[in-house]
Amino acid sequence: MAIPDENIHPTATGNAAKTVAEHQAKQDLVFYSGWFCPFNQRVWISLEEKGIPYQYVEVNPYRKEKHFLDINPKGLVPAIEYQGKALYESLILCEFLEEAYPNHKPRLLPADPFERAHARLWIDHTSKMIIPAWHRLLQAQSIEQQDAARQELYDAQRKLVQQVKGPYFTGKEFGLVDIANAPWVAREYILAEHRGYDRTQVGDGWSEYAERLVARESVSKTTSDEDKLQVIYDRYLRDEAQSEVAKAIRAGRSLP
């Protein structure tokens, strides 16, 4: 039986569609993508930032087709094939791109071991604190749940932005901490319109930092039109989405 989430718009739109069109030729690296997925967008941003040649292949992860399950048994985007070998998980893929393509700049992580470890601490904070709070707020149905999740998100974002050296997390270079957060920042308008989210309430320069992330060319080039994204997020706002993330939030589990 089909689930409603299967009936998503089949392709990227707007700026993202133009980027897809530029990456149809065969390459050593095949990027299996779901245009709508923020986890997926992390890898897409990284590919664009580093100028790595890649072939873009659109996948509907809700259909779990056999070829894609052979690439990623979880059936989730993003995933890649690199010289015929498969990998998946967004942040692992971003670090893989950093290591597999050392001559492609910019660096996504600092060269200094301490600074690199420090960045990873705040990537971990993003994964464990910011993203779960974002999705709890998105799916919360009662006013009390929304108020609690919104405050949790503000607190988590405030802790992160207090570490930002400016204009980006590590300073002048746009890097992996910024990439880890950018897709959700680009979707904050959904929380603002439907969940009372106000980025100015985070304070400590979050609004300015968020604006810089959204304005980054690699973020704009990998973001589809708002009306197509809204259709998908309407299911989350009603707490009806059947993605693995939505299921995890409902069950109170950590995100997959």
**What single-letter amino acid sits at 178?**
D
pLDDT at res. 5: 58
Q: Is residue 94 among the annotated active site residues?
A: no
- Other C-beta atoms lying within 10 Å of the C-beta of residue 14: 17
pLDDT at res. 34: 96
Given 30, 37, 77, 185, the catalytic residue: 37
CA distance 12 to 36: 8
Local confidence pLDDT in tens for the 256 residues of the chain: 334 456 688 999 999 999 999 999 999 999 999 999 999 999 999 999 999 999 999 999 888 788 899 999 999 999 999 999 999 999 999 999 999 999 999 999 999 999 999 999 999 999 999 999 999 999 999 999 999 999 999 999 999 999 999 999 999 999 999 999 999 999 999 999 999 999 999 999 999 999 999 999 999 999 999 999 999 999 999 999 999 999 999 999 999 8
List the beta strands (DSSP E) in the chain: 29-33, 55-58, 79-82, 85-88
pLDDT at res. 62: 84
pLDDT at res. 32: 97
Q: pTM for the full model?
A: 0.96
* Angle made by CA atoms 135, 35, 88, in degrees to the nearest 5: 80
Q: Is 148 exposed, middle or buried (0-12, 13-18, 19+ CB in 10 A)?
A: middle
CA distance 151 to 67: 42
pLDDT at res. 4: 46
pLDDT at res. 8: 83
| Three-state secondary-structure class, residue 81 | strand
